[in-house]
Amino acid sequence: MSIAKADKPIILVTNDDGVTAPGIRNLVESIKDLGTVLVVSPDKPQSGMGHAITIGQPLRMQRVHNFGDDVEAWQTTGTPVDCVKLAVDKLLHRKPDICISGINHGPNHSINVIYSGTMSAAMEAAIEGIPSVGFSLLDHGIDADFSAAQKVARKIVQLVLGMETEKHFLLNVNIPAIPHEMLAGMKVCRQAYAKYDENFDERKDPRGSSYYWLTGEFINMDEKTDTDVWALENNYVSVVPVSIDFTNYKLKNQLDEQWQETL
Amino acid sequence: MSIAKADKPIILVTNDDGVTAPGIRNLVESIKDLGTVLVVSPDKPQSGMGHAITIGQPLRMQRVHNFGDDVEAWQTTGTPVDCVKLAVDKLLHRKPDICISGINHGPNHSINVIYSGTMSAAMEAAIEGIPSVGFSLLDHGIDADFSAAQKVARKIVQLVLGMETEKHFLLNVNIPAIPHEMLAGMKVCRQAYAKYDENFDERKDPRGSSYYWLTGEFINMDEKTDTDVWALENNYVSVVPVSIDFTNYKLKNQLDEQWQETL
């Protein structure tokens, strides 16, 4: 990276909707005076890519100029996770001070953290020890109003840059699609237990063979009030701290007693 | 599914190496007398797909006969996660009694749980409330010896089918590439903290443009003896119970005090 200034934090920005999405443009605009910004983002939409990485084919990077002259930006042929790896290893040659991902067009609350390319990019950075935040707006529309989300993102980036973060600091932030003055505040939450009730839409091609479109209805199975789904339904910005240790310690303790050395 | 027998458990088998991989054939052989087996697997290798789902294009399924006349098997154009969704929604029309994924060609211990298509398929089933296990052998070779892994997989499937499992029961099982009689036993572990030190291999195409192959060295940052990496290094089969709740509760408690309603 050629334009880093030593006295300013380096802010790595990525997303999963691709480098031309309004969400990432709004995110960059909201924080670009807070540090030196590097954008590394997929060259096409990558929603639903989860934590996919590209190992069967090589990657390419191309300089782009979508964000004005003061923001260095690259598009890559890879996934959101690939973008973070390329940014750190090939462009920055160091860890940025923060990695932010988004602003996603659509929600990534509850179980969506698992499917989301937005959150996977942020998680990849957190594995590397980079404080990371994924931002999502509860509006899928290409003409969504990002003005409240911009204020929220700026506020949270300022908070994170100003604090001592733990080694693997990762937040999943979702923002209701309402004007900023209607937001009830920010709520630190746990991930709601929710799932999708799949319903493949079966169709016939012109030759009579079946094909299937994945559809599904979101089902919140969690009635408690400390979840991200509850917070969003009540006009709060939801902030879920996310772990990179997936161990189920409760089940580990149970099986420890029953299964140890039973081969 | 046409061949289900009411008195036998239904065992859904999938993987990420594709329906023709030796690993899934060995897995099916090891357990097919324990229940009615349905195989739904990708039609091509999908390693490193993480929890990707296919939303931008439709999916297709095709009946295959790789596993003999007594095992119903399908290949799909989707990811490992898509395979589980298709199996439950379009083929079984009910939850199987267990979902097993693998046997993966290569390790999925420690942080690999995040990148692994094998584990993502199992995780998808666990989200649905299906007891699930991913199996991986520490040998990438196409001619790997699966005989010890077969015995381990059979034992664990029997254990899981015989117990009362919690709602989201999910195990990540890795098996050392050594003969069965050399295995020290089975160890219930936590996920080691480890990462990949990325190093993109930069090359020039015939027109002089750069492209990059993702490579990386595995680094175990975790010296403790209760991890999967330690267990495997000491000839144990590692069993890590995996959570589908990614909330970082420790960080949640910290931020709860500092960040609540600070917008």
Tens of pLDDT, residue by residue over A107-135, are 999 999 988 899 999 999 999 999 999 99
Give me chain B's average pLDDT, please: 92
Distance from CA of A25 to the nearest CA of B (A): 22
Q: Is A262 close to B114, i.e. CB distance below 8 A? A: no
CB distance A197 to A217 below 8 Å: yes
Q: Is B185 close to A114, i.e. CB distance below 8 A? A: no
b/e for A202-223, b at 16 or more Cβ within 10 A?
A: eeeeeeeeebbebeeeeebebe
Interval B171-218: pLDDT, tens: 999 999 999 999 999 999 999 999 888 788 899 999 998 999 988 888
- Residue type at A121? A
- Residue type at A190? R
List chain B residues with CB under 8 Å of A259: 159, 186, 188, 239
| Phi and psi angles of residue A58, each rounded to the nearest 5 degrees, phi first | -80, 165
- Rounded-to-integer distance, Cα A171 and Cα B200, Å: 27
Interval A156-208: pLDDT, tens: 999 999 999 999 999 999 999 999 999 999 999 999 999 888 788 899 999 99
Q: Per the structure block, which two tokens stand in for B214? A: 């993702």
| Phi and psi angles of residue B34, each rounded to the nearest 5 degrees, phi first | -85, -10
- Residue type at B205? D
For residue B15, say whether it is annotated as part of any ligand binding site.
no
Look at residue B50 and tell me whether its pLDDT is greater than 80: no
Give the pLDDT band (50/70/90) at residue B260. low
- Rounded-to-integer distance, Cα B223 and Cα A143, Å: 50
Residue B191 CB partners (closer than 8 Å, separation 6+): A245, A246, A247, B109, B110, B111, B113, B172, B227, B228, B240, B242
Residue recorded with tokens 């179980």 = A111
Q: Which of B262, B249, B245 is CA-nearest to residue A187?
A: B262
| B247: nearest CB among A185, A190, A212 | A190
Give the pLDDT band (50/70/90) at residue A57. confident
Q: Is B53 close to A50, i.e. CB distance below 8 A? A: yes
Task: Write down all domains in chain B, each with its CATH number in brackets.
Answer: 10-259 (3.40.1210.10)
Q: Per the structure block, which two tokens stand in for B144? A: 């790997």
Q: What is the dihedral of CA B158, B162, B166, B171, to 10 degrees?
A: -10
In sequence order, the β-bridge partners of residue B227 are B190
What integer pLDDT is reported at residue A56 of this predicted model? 78
**Residue A185 at interface with chain B, using a CB cutoff of 8 Å:** yes
Distance from CA of A177 to the nearest CA of B (A): 16
Q: Report percent pLDDT > 90 for chain B.
A: 75
- Rounded-to-integer distance, Cα A227 and Cα A240, Å: 8
Q: Per the structure block, which two tokens stand in for B241? A: 């119970």
What integer pLDDT is reported at residue B263 of this predicted model? 67
DSSP-assigned letter for residue A225: S
| B198: nearest CB among A89, A183, A241 | A89
**Residue A182 at interface with chain B, using a CB cutoff of 8 Å:** no
The DSSP string of A104-147 is EES---TTHHHH-HHHHHHHHHHHTT--EEEEEES---TT---H
Look at residue A59 and tell me whether its pLDDT is greater than 60: yes
Half-sphere exposure of residue A31: CA atoms within 13 angstroms, side-chain side:
35
| B48: nearest CB among A48, A52, A209 | A52
Q: Is A247 close to B191, i.e. CB distance below 8 A? A: yes
Q: Is A250 exposed, middle or buried (0-12, 13-18, 19+ CB in 10 A)?
A: exposed
Give me chain A's average pLDDT, please: 92
Q: Is A200 close to B45, i.e. CB distance below 8 A? A: no
For residue A17, say whether it is annotated as part of any ligand binding site.
yes
Interval B103-131: pLDDT, tens: 999 999 999 998 889 999 999 999 999 99
**Residue A95 at interface with chain B, using a CB cutoff of 8 Å:** no
What integer pLDDT is reported at residue A142 of this predicted model? 84
Distance from CA of B89 to the nearest CA of A (A): 7
Q: Is A45 close to B55, i.e. CB distance below 8 A? A: no
What integer pLDDT is reported at residue A260 of this predicted model? 64
* Consecutive H or E run containing A72: strand A72-76
Q: Is B260 close to A187, i.e. CB distance below 8 A? A: yes
What integer pLDDT is reported at residue B135 of this predicted model? 98
- Rounded-to-integer distance, Cα A126 and Cα A27, Å: 19
For residue A47, say whether it is annotated as part of any ligand binding site.
yes
Beta carbon pairs, A and B, within 8 Å: 234
Q: Is B260 close to A188, i.e. CB distance below 8 A? A: yes
List chain B residues with CB under 8 Å of A59: 200, 211-214
Look at residue B48 and tell me whether its pLDDT is greater than 70: no
- Rounded-to-integer distance, Cα B172 and Cα A252, Å: 11
Interface of A with B in 33-62 (CB under 8 A): 45, 47-56, 58-61
Q: Which of A196, A104, A83 is CA-nearest to residue B81?
A: A196
Distance from CA of B23 to the nearest CA of A (A): 19
What chain A residue is nearest to B81 in terms of C-alpha separation? A115
Give the mean model confidence (pLDDT) for residues B243-251: 95
What integer pLDDT is reported at residue A69 of this predicted model? 87
List chain B residues with CB under 8 Å of A74: none
Interval B87-103: pLDDT, tens: 999 999 999 999 999 99
Alpha helices per DSSP H over chain B: 22-31, 80-86, 112-115, 117-127, 147-161, 228-233, 249-259
Q: What ipTM was reported for this prediction?
A: 0.90
- Rounded-to-integer distance, Cα B227 and Cα A115, Å: 26
3-state secondary structure of B207: coil
**Residue A113 at interface with chain B, using a CB cutoff of 8 Å:** yes
List chain A residues with CB under 8 Å of B60: 209-212
Q: Is B261 close to A185, i.e. CB distance below 8 A? A: yes
List chain B residues with CB under 8 Å of A152: 263
For residue A253, say whether it is annotated as part of any ligand binding site.
no
What integer pLDDT is reported at residue B216 of this predicted model? 82
**Residue A221 at interface with chain B, using a CB cutoff of 8 Å:** no
Q: Is A88 close to B249, i.e. CB distance below 8 A? A: no
Residue A49 CB partners (closer than 8 Å, separation 6+): A16, A79, A80, A81, A117, A120, B50, B52
Alpha helices per DSSP H over B57-146: 80-86, 112-115, 117-127
Distance from CA of B178 to the nearest CA of A (A): 14
CA B194-B179-B133 angle, to 5 degrees, is 50
**Residue B252 at interface with chain A, using a CB cutoff of 8 Å:** yes
Give the mean model confidence (pLDDT) for residues A5-11: 83
- Rounded-to-integer distance, Cα B133 and Cα B122, Å: 6
The side-by-side arrangement of strands in the sheet containing B10-14 is: B61-64, B72-76, B36-42, B10-14, B98-105, B132-137, B170-175, B236-241, B185-188
Cα A89 to Cα A43, A85, A244, B3, B115: the distances in Å are 19, 6, 21, 52, 19
